[in-house]
């Protein structure tokens, strides 16, 4: 999508009719190269008016008031600058739950839903006793939230970004999980007491190589937090510390579960072996890309 500046010609007759505004916005988004222009125009409008898609169709003659028109203009202008939709509306659906997102946190991805599906199936299949969980690099808190809710477990959610943690706290409170999740602002394990022993450590750490920054879509590289994306020149810097350090924080028989980049399966497998993990495995997603690496701390 090309960036584009924009203003609705509000003085034009009927310019504020819902159907007309959507039509014009769709044209501008299309012109900017957006592949789902109508969908995005409608999505922004639904978020603005707080209505569902059906309601949009029922009332194309609805007239937006000046505040609504100005707000829609502002949202559309942001989208034309390639800002992700999720940041503009401030929400995202993940695991069929509604999460707040701001530019301080990574927008949760489907890959992470896959990782959670696999972890939950492993825990349930093995009847694994999993009461105390660590979510390292919690961001918006999606992993902590889903695991606390699905496993009825207590979760410690860690992030080095205080701004990200504020978003995670808001999400956990919103889902009424505050009794199960605690938050620590820390560079990896630096602020965790050594006495903490987890059954499960889960992490979706930053894993993009800085050298690949120019290959990323501007929606990602210009808007998502660099701290959530990049991990040194090869993308492995976080795993290099996280994998060996996590051994001390797992109880014997506990699992380390890592989301990994599609090309990182072999090297992460090697790192897990080198840190003494057993039952090391790498799981691929539905597109056959390695996405989850697991290792068990020997008893
Ligand atoms: C890829 S994002 C994952 C966010 C969320 N868990 C998810 O799956 O959507 C990585 C997160 O790790 C945090 N992070 C990066 N380096 C860290 C470090 N050294 N210690 C703790 N957290 C870190 C970032 O601030 C970011 O929120």
CB-ligand 1 contact for 188 (6 Å cutoff):
yes
**Tokens read off for 244:** 């060996």
Question: In terms of pLDDT, which residue wins out, 56 or 204?
Answer: 204
Nearest to 22 by CA among 142, 101, 59: 59
DSSP annotation of 159:
E
In the chain, CATH 1.10.8.10 sits at: 18-82
Close Cβ partners of 216 (under 8 Å, ≥ 6 residues apart): 208, 229
Which CA distances in Å does 166 have to 20, 108, 163, 290? 39, 16, 5, 31
In this prediction, residue 174 has a pLDDT band, given cuts at 50, 70 and 90, of very high
CATH number of 18-82: 1.10.8.10
Does 92-297 carry CATH code 3.40.50.150? Answer: yes
Other CB atoms within 10 A of residue 93 CB: 10
Which pLDDT belongs to residue 10?
46
In this prediction, residue 154 has a pLDDT band, given cuts at 50, 70 and 90, of very high
**Tokens read off for 215:** 């290959």
pLDDT digits (tens, 9 = 90+) for 20-51: 999 999 999 999 999 999 999 999 999 999 99
Instruction: Give residue 65's Cα distance to chain centre.
Output: 34
What is the pTM assigned to this prediction?
A: 0.93
pLDDT digits (tens, 9 = 90+) for 222-270: 999 999 999 999 999 999 999 999 999 999 999 999 999 999 999 999 9
Which pLDDT belongs to residue 160?
98
Protein residue whose Cα sits closest to atom 6 of ligand 1: 138
Mutate to test the pocket of ligand 1, among 97, 102, 228 (most ligand atoms within 8 A of CB): 228
In the chain, CATH 3.40.50.150 sits at: 92-297
């Amino acid at each position: 999508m090309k960036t584009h500046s924009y203003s609705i010609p509000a003085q034009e007759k009927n310019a504020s009719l819902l159907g007309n505004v959507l039509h014009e916005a769709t044209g501008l988004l299309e012109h900017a190269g957006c592949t789902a222009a109508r969908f995005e125009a409608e999505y922004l409008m639904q978020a603005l008016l707080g209505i569902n898609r059906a309601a949009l169709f029922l009332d194309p003659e609805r007239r937006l008031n000046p505040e609504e028109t100005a707000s829609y203009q502002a949202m559309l202008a942001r989208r034309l600058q390639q800002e992700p939709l999720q940041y503009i509306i401030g929400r995202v659906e993940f695991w069929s739950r509604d999460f707040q997102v701001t530019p301080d946190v990574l927008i949760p991805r489907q890959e992470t839903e896959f990782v959670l599906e696999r972890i939950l199936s492993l825990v349930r299949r093995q009847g694994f006793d999993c009461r105390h969980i660590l979510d390292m690099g919690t961001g918006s808190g999606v992993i902590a939230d889903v695991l606390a809710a699905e496993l009825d477990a207590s979760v410690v959610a860690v992030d080095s970004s205080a701004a990200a943690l504020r978003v995670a706290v808001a999400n956990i409170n919103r889902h009424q999980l505050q009794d199960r999740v605690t938050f620590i602002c820390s560079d990896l394990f630096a602020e965790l007491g050594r006495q903490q022993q987890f059954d499960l450590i889960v992490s979706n750490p930053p894993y993009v190589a800085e050298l690949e920054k120019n290959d990323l879509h501007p929606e990602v590289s210009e808007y998502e937090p660099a701290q959530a994306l990049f991990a040194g020149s090869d993308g492995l810097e976080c795993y290099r510390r996280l994998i060996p350090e996590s051994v001390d924080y797992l109880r014997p028989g506990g699992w380390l579960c890592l989301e990994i980049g599609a090309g990182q399966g072999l090297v992460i497998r090697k790192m897990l072996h080198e840190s003494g993990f057993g039952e090391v495995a790498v799981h691929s997603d539905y597109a056959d890309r390695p996405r989850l690496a697991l290792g068990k701390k020997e008893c």
